[in-house]
Chains A and B, each alone.
Chain A
Amino acid sequence: MTSKTFKGFAILASLILTFGLAQAEPKKVGFIYVGPVGDFGWSYEHDQGRLAVEEAFGDQVETSYVESVPEGADAERVLTQMALAGNELIFTTSFGYMDPTINVAAKFPDVKFEHATGYKRADNVSTYSARFYEGRAVIGHIAGKMTKTNQIGYIASFPIPEVIRGINSAYIHAKKANPDVEFKIVWVFTWFDPAKEADAAQTLIEQGVDVIMQHTDSTAPMTIAEEKGIFAFGQASDMMEFGPTARLSSIIDNWAPYYVARTQALVDGAWESVDTWDGISTGMVEIGEFSDRIPENVRADAQAMSDAISNGSYHPFTGPINRQDGSAWLGDGEIADDGTLLGMNFYVEGISGSIPN
């Protein structure tokens, strides 16, 4: 055997070996959740995304998760351990994981991180978030058309831009659909407390609302709406089984396409740090099936709005829109810039009450 053929043989062998190893060693993808996967809201939907990754990649990818991780010191430790254990891509699925993600990412330049809803990025940290306000525009329209009492209840969690944006978007479109509409907004200061959310729904109904929107995670408001015979919308997941007659539609967090795409990028070696803020167009925000109880023309209008938002011909925050105090925010035809939307801390004109702090 000449040395040349030996060399060739060796290369071939090592190729087979690496190829074989690549086949045998699946890529590890990790997830950390702020709540339990059984919350049927935020963390549950992220875990559905994880399961979609498992489904899509089979043996190529191995996923794992840690649930109910407090934001802060514990998150940083869990992330470090996941990185040490060989995860190559880690999704950190809550705003409060932002600083821990950045810290750990700095220590593990070869590990890729994806942080949900934050604003800090690095070469190995992407951020992603969903334009839920697009969905809220559509259900706001439906709510405006469906209310008989002209009173719409809104169960809000914490006064942060994400939630305020949703209220504004829903209000603007409800108002367009029905100029007499009024919003009753209740802040519950929790993302997840079924009993308190149920109380909030009950209170709103007593105050005469006949459509409820929620920006909290539990299905309790839907259950109460069903019991009291009023309308509601699914939040985060479809919630069909909790309100078969009450549920008009829903805004579903669908992280699956994004998670699959990012995992694909990792597998292909094409992963790059990006900032993603997707809405209806990519399916990250999904509008649940319209109920038969919505009149046909309203359904058609809502569908048209959804389509227009999806193809980019309509933006839910298109002027003229004034701030609550009457000062001008967007001129005629002007479209809100993402910067203002991301930091939104004011109500638009017409909403009564003030944002608590």
Chain B
Amino acid sequence: MLVFERRREPSRFWTAITPILAVLITLIAGGILFATLGKDPLEAIKTIFWAPLFDPDLSAYARPQILVKAAPLVLIAIGLSIGFKANIWNIGAEGQYIMGAILGGGVALAFYPLEAWWIFPLMIVSGIAGGIAWAMIPALLKVKFRTNEILVSLMLVYVSEHFLASVSLGLLRNPDGVGFPGSRNLQHYASASNAELFAGTGIHLGVIVAFVSIFALYGLIRFHRLGFQIRVTGQSIRISRFAGVNPNLMIIFCLAAGGGLAGLAGIFELSGPAGRLSIDFNVGYGFTAIIVAFLGRLNPFGIALAALLMSLTYIGGDLAQFMLNLPAAAIQALQGMLLFFLLSMDFLSQYRIRIKHWASG
């Protein structure tokens, strides 16, 4: 009989090796999937995982784009991981991302067409504030009424989506847009534009900030007292009190961190790559980031790697669609499998598998 024994410390060897193993298994399973769809499995795998990185014609553009696509995932996942470590479950980052974009974008549009240096910083601060404000609803309800933050933050995603639809069609609709829904394009408003920093790469300020945040979180967790308190809270609230933690402040801090960074990601995305606020401005980064946070084992560098891997499959998936005529659904299924394997293989780093005989058991 197989017996699972929990390791005292996660195995370093298995922690390092399982993601690679999971990707390899996904490649095999994905290959079988593509073969059943009548596509050359090797070609498909190569297009998704190799072409964006190394194809001579495409990689020069695709490589920085992997960073651009990963940036919001990293920002949001970094923020969420702080809460997850402390056992505080904000799964409403999608809503906080939307509200950050709406508030930040709204502030910028309120000053249109004024050109001033302070508009961009004000917009960024408003974006963060929008995300934090939205996250404060589950935080304060949890502090005051012990209301489950998972559910409140999730509910607020839908509220914010309806709100987004409403402002795209009403308050923030572009008056010069011939009646179509959606705001003005902030890319065309110099003071509010989060333009690319290196020509042709698409790299914007948000990408830089995202990668800075990785080190910031690492520093916080590793060297700051707060990092210790977060970890202790995650293990037991009772023990954390002895460590001088105020659980209510911890709840507020964790949700604020997640909400603020999600709002920041929202405003960077709006003022940069997306440009316009529209009904379908949000594309699920807030939810994908949750997966990314866990794939990265809540470790800042792990999160960065996980976000880059997800981003690679998005970009490679686009390529596979128009180069090999693979349906978008096949890419989605492949991503789902990749996540399953990554999540399940973590088991190997947490547990030891022993074969036990009935007699001795």
Q: Would A and B touch once assembled, by the CB under 8 A criterion? A: yes
Once the chains are docked, how many angstroms separate the CA of A324 from the CA of B273? 40
Q: Quick check: which of B28-36, B129-137, B215-223, B321-329 contacts chain A, the rest being far away?
A: B321-329
Measured between beta carbons, the chain A residues less than 8 angstroms from B319 are 81, 85
B-contacting residues, A53-80, CB 8 Å: 64-74, 76-78, 80
Q: Quick one: which of B57, B180, B187, B281 contacts A85, CB cutoff 8 A?
A: B57
**B65 in contact (CB, < 8 A):** yes
A189 in contact (CB, < 8 A): yes
Q: Is the CB of B274 within 8 A of A81?
A: no
From A30, A103, A158, A161, contact of B322 by CB (8 A)? A30
Chain A stretch 182-208: residues in CB contact (< 8 A) with chain B = 189
- Residue of A whose beta carbon sits closest to that of B272: A73
A319 within 8 A of B: no
Contact A161 B58 (CB under 8 A): no
Contact among A80, A86, A158, A164 with B169 in the assembled complex (CB-CB below 8 Å): A158
The chain B residue with its CB closest to the CB of A158 is: B181
Q: Does A13 contact B (CB under 8 A)?
A: no
Assign chain A's interface to a size class.
35 or more
B229 at the interface (CB under 8 A from A): no
- B278 contacts A71, CB within 8 Å? yes
A108-137: which residues lie under 8 A (CB-CB) from chain B? Answer: 119
Residues of B within 8 A of A103 (CB): 187
Q: Which residue of A lies closest to B69 (CB)?
A: A77
Q: Which B213-237 residues have a C-beta within 8 angstroms of A?
A: none
CA distance A356 to B166 in the complex (A): 10
Contact between chains at A119 and B58 (CB < 8 Å): no
A95-B180 CB under 8 A given contacts A70-B280, A73-B269: yes
Interface residues of B in 46-80 (CB under 8 A from A): 57-58, 61-62, 65, 68-69
Partner of A66, one of B182, B275, B318, B329: B318
Q: Is A96 an interface residue (CB 8 A)?
A: yes
Question: B180, A161: Cβ atoms under 8 Å?
Answer: yes
Bound-complex Cα distance A161 to B178 (A): 8
Say if the beta carbon of A84 comes within 8 Å of chain B.
Answer: yes
Q: Mark B305-348, 1 if CB is under 8 A from A, else 0.
A: 00000000001001101110101110000000000000000000
Question: With a CB–CB cut-off of 8 A, which chain A residues contact B85?
Answer: none
B residues near A77, Cβ cutoff 8 Å: 65, 68-69, 202, 315, 318
**Across the interface, do B273 and A76 meet the contact criterion of CB distance under 8 Å?**
yes
A interface list, Cβ under 8 A from B: 30, 36-37, 64-74, 76-78, 80-82, 84-87, 95-96, 99, 103, 107, 119, 158-161, 164, 189, 342-345, 356-357
Q: List 22 A-B contacts (CB under 8 A).
A: A30-B322, A36-B327, A36-B329, A70-B283, A72-B280, A72-B281, A72-B283, A73-B272, A74-B283, A77-B68, A80-B61, A81-B315, A84-B58, A85-B322, A85-B323, A99-B276, A161-B180, A164-B179, A189-B165, A342-B178, A345-B179, A357-B173
Known: A159-B169, A189-B165. 19 other contacts (CB 8 A): A30-B322, A37-B327, A64-B322, A65-B322, A66-B328, A70-B283, A72-B280, A72-B281, A73-B273, A77-B65, A81-B58, A81-B61, A81-B318, A95-B180, A96-B276, A99-B187, A99-B275, A345-B179, A357-B170
B residues near A, CB below 8 A? 57-58, 61-62, 65, 68-69, 165, 169-170, 173, 178-182, 185, 187, 200, 202, 269, 272-276, 278-281, 283, 315, 318-319, 321-323, 325, 327-329
